[in-house]
Amino acid sequence: MNQRFSIDEFIKQTQQEDKGEGLFELETPRMLEVNLDGEVWAKMGSMVSYRGAIKFEREGVLEHGLGKLFKKALTGEGTALMKANGEGKLYLADQGKKISILHLNNEAIYVNGNDLLAFQPGLDWDIKLMRRVAGMMAGGLFNVRIEGTGMAAITSHYEPLTLLVKPGSPVYTDPNATVAWSGNLQPDFVTDVSLKTFFGRGSGESVQMKFEGEGFVVVQPFEEVYYSEQQS
């Protein structure tokens, strides 16, 4: 009998493994294991499984202050977070997107609001709405600035590519394909009519993000469809 496709072989190939890597582990490239002993913030709806004594709660309306509440009202459900509290193993995923784990060491990074999967509560975070692009793209664009020391997990459609930004050599990206960038960079939004039929799609097809200075920007080989666009 051919054992290659047996249930036992399937279990052997796909079963969970303890890798001893700490709080965040990549169980597979598209599944995050959180070895929870305390709290973690995660994207609303990202839990796929857990074991142990873990409770989940949606973030409180005033938990982060009126400033963030006001910005959440502007940016919509894409920023919704849940808090997992307890002890056990928690498994998170987001539409099969590839997961990257980052350990910030007193550093800051901006992450597209749709691409933030989970982070430790000790990290400071704030929602940044890109008002200058709101009129150019359906639904606008928002991101989350994370700063401090701790773990964060971000997602991308397929493999991410990191481009280094150097003085005198700006990097231009499609906003819908931009995942994250270093905390010291402040992108500008520019339009180029000559690229209108080649760059991006929809009402924002000629809009580009321009990164100048010194840092990095992460892009994905995919144009994200944002929550507010899906609802329109």
CATH number of the domain within which 222 lies: 3.60.160.10
- The answer to the question of residue 223 being in a domain is yes
Give this prediction's pTM.
0.83
- The answer to the question of residue 6 being in a domain is no
CA distance 45 to 109: 23
pLDDT digits (tens, 9 = 90+) for 46-68: 999 999 999 999 875 545 555 55
- The answer to the question of residue 1 being in a domain is no
- The answer to the question of residue 89 being in a domain is yes
In the chain, the number of structural domains is 1
- The answer to the question of residue 182 being in a domain is yes
CA distance 197 to 192: 10
- The answer to the question of residue 2 being in a domain is no
**Least confident span in 30-34, 49-53, 79-83, 168-172:** 79-83
Q: Which residue has the higher pLDDT, 65 or 38?
A: 38
SS (H, E, C) the chain: CCCCCCHHHHHHHHCCCCCCCCCEEEEECCEEEEEEEEEEEEECCCEEEEEEEEEEEECCCCCCCHHHHHHHHHHHHHHCEEEEEEEEEEEECCCCCEEEEEEEEEEEEEEEHHHEEEECCCCEEEEEECHHHHCCCCCCCEEEEEEEEEEEEEEECCCCEEEEEECCECEEECHHHEEEEECCCCCEEEECHHHCCCCCCHHHCCEEEEECCCEEEEECCCCCCCHHHHHC
Residue 169 structural domain:
20-231
Percent of the chain beyond pLDDT 70?
A: 76
pLDDT digits (tens, 9 = 90+) for 94-133: 999 999 999 999 999 999 988 999 999 999 988 877 765 5
- The answer to the question of residue 137 being in a domain is yes
- The answer to the question of residue 52 being in a domain is yes
